[in-house]
Every structure is written in C-alpha cells, then in structure tokens.
Amino acid sequence: MTFLPYGRQSISEADIEAVVAALRSDFLTTGPLVERFEKALADAVGAKEAVVVANGTAALHLAVMTEELSARCAVIVPAITFAASANCVAYCGAPVIFADVDPVTGLITDESFDDALKILERDHHGYRLGGVIPVHYAGRPVDLSHIHDVCGARGSFVIEDACHAIGTVGPQGAVGSCQASNMACFSFHPVKTLTTGEGGAITTHDPVLAKRLRALRSHGIERDPVHFVGLRYDGEGDTGPWVYEQQCLGYNYRLPDLNCALGLSQLQRLPDFAGRRKTLVRAYQAALEETNIPVNWKSSEHDAVFHLFAVNIDFAGLGTTRAAVMSGLRERGIGTQVHYIPVHRQPWWQTHALAQRALPGADCFYQNTLSLPLYADMSDDDPARVIEALREVLG
C-alpha cells in the first residue's frame, strides 16, 4: 500500500506554473512577487502588514529582535514547541523561563503562564517580564485574553508562534490578525498547511515595526535617499543611484521571488487546504470512536486548522513502547513522528534557562504523544486505515 508520511506538501500544476513563470521573469531573488505575497498574506489573516522572511526561525528571531531586550528581560516560552521558539530569545541575549503545558493539548495555559511569572518575579530579583511567546501547537489556538492583559499591564510583548496555525480562527479571531499580540510568526515549511519551499512571515498592525523588520531582514540597509543620514563624503559619494546605507545591524533573511511565487499560488488554495484538513480530522475522530481503542485526542472548541494530528497514548499502561508502536506502524506503511521533546530537557537549555524545575504537564505530554499522518492529499479512507493499523499494533 502507499506509504503515508506524517506530513508532506501538496503541489498542484498551478503551483508549478507559478514558479515557472517566476523563473522566466527578470527576478529570481527580491522582486515584485515579494510585495504581492506580503499584501495577499496580510489580507488573508486580517493584518495590516506582513513581512516575509527566509523561514519560521528567521521570523521569530527578527520579531524578538525588534523588542530590543536586555539581559534582564526574561521571556516566557512553553516547553512543548520546536527549539526555535526559545532559541530566538537566546539569539537576542535574553533569558528564557519555560512554562508548563496542558498534558493533553500541549498548550500553555493561564495557570502555567501565571506560575512561570510568579517564579520569575519571586525568585529572580532584578529581572522583569520582557514578553511571552505563546505557541499555537498543532494549529490549536491559545486563548490570549489573560496573557494579553497581564503583558499589557507590565509593558511586555506578546509574540504569537503561529508556525503551525495558518488558517486557524481562535478566540481573538484569525491567527495572525494580532488582535491580542504585537506580532505573529508563521512558517511555510513543506509539512505546514501551505508552503513556499522554505519560508516564513511576521504579521503586525504596526507599519513602523514592519519597516524595521524589512530593514533587519536585509542587512539593515536603507536604499531610499529620503531616509539617508550621510556617508560623510560631503560630496558626490553621498548621493547617486548606487548609494545605500547600512543603518542598523541586520541579516540576510530575505525570501526570494521564486518562493513567493509558490506562496502566492498556495495562498489561493488555503481555503481548500483548511477544509481538507478539517475533513480528515473529522474522519480520524469518527475512526477513533468506532474502533474504541485507548487513544486520546481532544477536539478544539474553536475553528482550528490542524497542522498535526497528535494523539495521546499511554504506552507504558498498554505494556508497550512508543518506538515499538512507531515501528509496527511503519511496517504497515504508516509514518509517524514525535512533536516535541520538551525544550527544557534539551542539554543546552538545562544549563541556560531560568528557573529550572519540573514541568510535569510537558513531560506527560511528551511521554504519550504521537503524530499521525495529516496532509491535504490524503484520501478520505486514509484516517480509518491509520487507526486500524494502530489498533492492530496496540493489540
């Protein structure tokens, strides 16, 4: 039978034609498709501005960088996420304090956020809350109401890690609309709901912030003479069509026209991608109910577009191991993955995070989680096939 990976891209003939057209144009790197993709993405999520970058990690890095954190501005990050959510804070020279998560959904909760904040303010004098990076894990939205209110009262930022959540509508509206945050960061890796090959984006309502993000993604260089401050040649060297100024320290985090061509085409398919994923999730739910195996998955009370179908299985209680289950499923043509090892358990973070402590929700989630295949090109029958194979492996 056809092997089902846990995730993969969906590329149509229209996508291919869009990339070929870009190849035949005058621009392969930065060109007009960058601005077009940014405008279309902002419109799609309901933000005033979108800034596209090389990948989701670059998006998180630049977003945090704009906050100009000091070494005493701690950022709260949930322990269940990809390492980049925390690494982006370390890149900027600021400390991280990890928050626990709900052991079933993997999401930061109001209680776990409050606990991390209480420990920071009680045990780490001289530090302040710089901000929080809530993660919409698997595409399931975090309710940001409480986090937004607490951060607002302290002058702290909220940057949404929305790398899993394009298309999701949560308690504060469409993820990326930044109704309760300063910025939201997306990833367009091939296993995500839509792809640009590699790529990412930051959305915001602040045009001044967007301008700064665009400068930071391109070496900190300014090319508009209106905004020049002068090279101090005091003559022709200060002006001319070739002149540019590096006005801040930036990076080469640009997203080429080639990738934006694919992104524009994929963005037109976002409603179909979202609908397809919702259909497949419903099929999984039905198969789980009919098979009645000891697998736990909590549906979302919001309009979530799931990037991952991550179930909870008590492997130890069933007398097996996750490795054995994954091996048994692979023998039956089913690919799986684990998302994620709690970041606070990673060796580097064990010696660099503030307030090292037990995070039982994160550990429980990790010990029991398994990501089953979920991508747009799966057939209607594939979820039932996966669950039947899982039933066989679990015995």
Which residues are bridge partners to 238 per DSSP?
Answer: none
Residue type, 235: G
Residue whose tokens read 């070929």: 20
Q: Are 310 and 337 in contact (CB under 8 A)?
A: no
Structure tokens that stand for 106 in this block: 């993997």
Rounded to whole angstroms, the Cα distance separating 388 from 382 reads 10
Tokens 């846990």 -> residue = 6
Gap between the Cα atoms of 140 and 172, Å rounded: 13
Q: Are 95 and 116 in contact (CB under 8 A)?
A: no
Structure tokens at 332: 């039956």
Give yes or no: 192 in active site. yes
SS3 content of the chain, % helix, strand, coil (to 5): 40, 15, 45
Q: DSSP string covering 287-303, please?
A: HHHHHT-SEE-PPPSSB
E strand residue ranges, the chain? 49-53, 73-78, 96-99, 128-132, 157-161, 169-170, 173-174, 183-187, 200-204, 221-222, 245-246, 295-296, 309-313, 369-372
Separation of alpha carbons 294 and 57, rounded Å:
36
Q: Going along 19-176, which residue ranges are E strands? A: 49-53, 73-78, 96-99, 128-132, 157-161, 169-170, 173-174
Backbone angles phi, psi at 49, to 5 degrees: -135, 145
For residue 172, is it left (φ>0), alpha (ψ between -120 and 50) or beta?
alpha
CA 260 to chain CA centroid, nearest Å: 18
Catalytic residue from among 192, 211, 278, 298: 192
Using alpha carbons, list the distances in angstroms from residue 147 to 88, 91, 181.
20, 23, 9
Active-site residues, by number, are 192
